[in-house]
Amino acid sequence: MEYLQDLNKNQREAVIHENGPCLVIAGAGSGKTRVLTYRIAHLINSDVDPFSILALTFTNKAAKEMKDRIEKIVGTEARSLWMGTFHSIFARILRSEGYKLGYPPNFVIYDTQDSKSLIKSIVKELNLDPKIYKENFVYNRISNAKNRLISYIDYANNPILQEEDASALRPRISEIYKIYVNRCFKSHAMDFDDLLFNTNILFSEHIDVLNKYQQLFQHVLIDEFQDTNYCQYLITKKLAAVHRNIFVVGDDAQSIYAFRGAEIRNILKFEDDFDELKTVKLEQNYRSTKTIVKAANSVIDKNKSKISKEVWTDNEEGELISLKQSFSDNDEGKMVSNLIFEEKNKNQLTNSNFAVLYRTNSQSRSIEESLRRIGLKYKVYGGLSFYQRKEVKDLLAYLRFSINQNDEQSFRRIINYPRRGIGQTSVDKIITSSNKEQKSLWDIISNPNKYLDSRISNLITPFVDLIISFKNFSKNNDAYSSASHIASNSGLLKELWDDRSIEGISRYENVQELLNSIKEYIDNEENKEKGLDNFLQEISLMTDQDQEDKKDEEFISLMTIHMAKGLEFQVVFIVGVEEDLFPSQMMISSREDLEEERRLFYVAITRAMKKLYITYSKTRYRYGLLKDCEKSRFVKEISPIYIDGEVRNTNKSFVKNVIKERSKNLSPLKKVSSKDISFKSSSVSDLEIGLKVRHPNFGIGEILELDMKNNQNKAIVKFKSVGEKTLLLNFAKLKIIK
């Protein structure tokens, strides 16, 4: 058991814990993943059957990485673990046992976009105002209900929920909820929330099934326990009720997903359900400098709802946190990009060492513009994922409908793509007939003469024949052969190939990339089942965090703080740290909401390993208006001994100084303008160390250093108004003053 030598005292105590419930409070950067990984390896080395170990994570990527690490310690036995996300494990159980609830083994899993599309259709069919019954709002309302195990029947009979909907002028949400559930069931489909909701129903209504899995799982382990919702915790508590070997790892200080239904009380009140609980605290931080760790502690200490702990580190003291003010959000973008450029050159860092974190996605614009301007490569995380692109979803819809002919959303997507003369009016008639006759879509379209007029019948028959041929082909071939056959014979590939625009070529390449991923899936020896239905299940459970990045490219990471959880970077910028933005103005009406925002700030701080910048602006455009801003209360909560409060960037006084400085060197006619339109820069080859130069924004300065190697053409110039600046001469304009 050499692996135990890699652990500190507290980590080892958690890993070798024998039996009974155990709560591991893992502070930021304290080696949480290592403890969970070694715990599972230790169980297997202690002769626990890996088939009897259930390990639940929140991303497939995390599960795969942990399983790979465990395999390096214990060998291929690790492949027998029940390890994966809550959704993937419960989907696996439902594929085997879902027939007890009326679902076939090949039920479809609707992603968020599919669900919202169905809700939009229902709202239209009910002749409701789509501006009032927005699909996002209705979807979130239904999702939150399911996460709290409120069925559509319970929802309709709950006076509080009905009053809330009536007050919001949306009194028919319970009706939409009921229709939505029935339409999903008729389509043999479950959405993501159903995978949890239906597992709970399965265990509640079928005790024999619950007993089977209670006996099977001798050990239940949960990662990121603070992110579990009510439904997830209830299911795992039931599964662990017999053996009571439940091992959970988490950090209450990093509970930031209440908007997704996460319940912080699950970790705060865990002892109430397991009074024999053993608690181990991992308080040594291996990631960050002492300054960053202590600063983060000084913030989170302000929360009242928390588990007491004192995170510490043996790492170096490190630099103070740099607090920077700018005059506007555009100036903030320029300031951040310049600071990244300076840090890169001063400390020989690469783009991947940097992250810019923000509270809302819209804040990335000014950062992106400034990074592009000086030629620094970046990647915005949280945008449209590969599997959400239209052309990818189109082919996936063909694949799904070939497996499950009751899938309404896939039917809607492919029935007239490529065009076959079946317009929206015809589709509406088919849907209406399906609802009226209480028949599946497939029953209607495969018997068109019985249910549809002759025009639609003639148009739909070739489509039905095509799907039957795809269905038969996929039964006898692997996922790649089936997908390639369907992509070609549906006309989809030709449709994309014929569009030779840049966008069209890109869409065609995306479909080829999907086919490549299917080939990779069937070539993977770990995937025993090679059928199309198995592949579709695999990708339906992918999350944004599971997308692989290109390893050969170096990017500066731009993302919301929520997306940054679990990551770490040498240098981190937290931008827009202003009142009403961070904390969000929508999250300051209760102490619980404010404390969640503070935990989010704590998460942001603890992503930094070596250097942390916090920036805020005096003005910012929000909702089309220029607003005055003030520094966030969270900045003021950091103990001042950890902050370098020097503010020497673009603020109002700075702008005045620049204009004043430049005015000294302009003729009286030009003093009316703060921009010198006629400014002409000198040739780069004429620049020398010691020369006085003028910059159109920074004013008068002296060249301290020049670097003309490798065509970088950089200069360090000391300006009277802003101090030293490193400039790229290929972009910056400098005029020699004689």
- Collapsing DSSP states into helix, strand and coil, what is residue 77? helix
CA–CA distance, 248 with 705 (Å, rounded to integer): 56
DSSP string, 315-376: S---PPEEEEEESSHHHHHHHHHHHHHHHHHHHT--GGGEEEEESSGGGHHHHHHHHHHTT-
Torsions phi, psi of 530, nearest 5? Answer: -105, 5
Decide: helix, strand or coil at residue 26.
strand
* 254 included as an active-site residue: yes
Q: Are strands 699-707 and 735-736 parallel, antiparallel or unpaired?
A: unpaired
| One-character DSSP codes across 248-305 | EEE-GGG---GGGTB-THHHHTHHHH-TT-EEEEE-B-SSS-HHHHHHHHHHHTT-SS
Distance separating alpha carbons of residues 283 and 479, to the nearest angstrom: 47
Reply yes or no on whether 607 is catalytic: yes
> Catalytic pick from 214, 254, 313, 726?
254
Cα 576 to Cα 403: distance, rounded to the nearest angstrom:
48
* CA dihedral (290, 296, 301, 304) positive or negative: negative
CA distance 385 to 601: 26
Mutual orientation of helices 207-216 and 230-239 as an angle, nearest 10°?
70
- Please say whether the beta carbons of 336 and 615 come within 8 A: yes
CA dihedral 487, 492, 498, 499 (to 10 degrees): -120
Task: Give the separation between CA 719 and CA 732, rounded to whole angstroms.
Answer: 14
Give the span between the Cα atoms of 446 and 410, in whole angstroms.
Answer: 16
State the DSSP code for 395.
H
Q: What is the number of other CB atoms lying within 10 angstroms of the CB of residue 277?
A: 16
Q: Which entry of 114, 135, 223, 391 is annotated as an active-site residue? A: 223
Q: CB neighbours (10 Å) of residue 221?
A: 27
Q: Residue 700: enclosing H or E segment and its boundaries?
A: strand 699-707
Q: How far is CA 588 from CA 218, 286, 302, 306, 593, in A?
A: 43, 33, 15, 18, 6
Tokens read off for 723 = 């101090």
Q: Can you tell me the distance from the alpha carbon of 230 to that of 615, in angstroms, rounded to the nearest whole number?
A: 36
Q: Out of 607, 633, 694, 714, which one is annotated catalytic?
A: 607
Residues in Cβ contact with 508 at an 8 Å cutoff, skipping those fewer than 6 apart:
391, 493, 496, 497, 499
Query: 408-429: string of b/e by CB count within 10 Å (b at 16+)?
Result: bbbbbbbbbbeeeebeeebbeb
Q: Rounded CA gap, 589 and 456, in Å?
A: 55
N- to C-terminal Cα separation, the chain: 74
* Active site (annotated) includes residue 238: no
Residues 6+ apart with CB under 8 A from 4: 12, 15, 16, 38, 42
**Length of the chain counted residue by residue:** 738
Strand order in the sheet with 556-560: 378-380, 556-560, 354-358, 569-574, 608-617, 321-326, 643-644
Contact criterion met (CB below 8 Å) for 252 and 264: yes
DSSP tag of 690: T
Residue 554 is a catalytic residue: no
- The residue behind tokens 């009286």 is 668
The radius of gyration of the chain from alpha carbons, rounded to an integer in Å, stands at 30
Cβ density class 360-390: b for 16+ within 10 Å, e for less: eeebbebbbebbeebebebbbbeeeeebebe
Please tell me which residue in 224, 263, 331, 595 is annotated as part of the active site: 224
- Rounded CA separation 434/467 (Å): 18
Active site residues: 32-33, 223-224, 254, 607
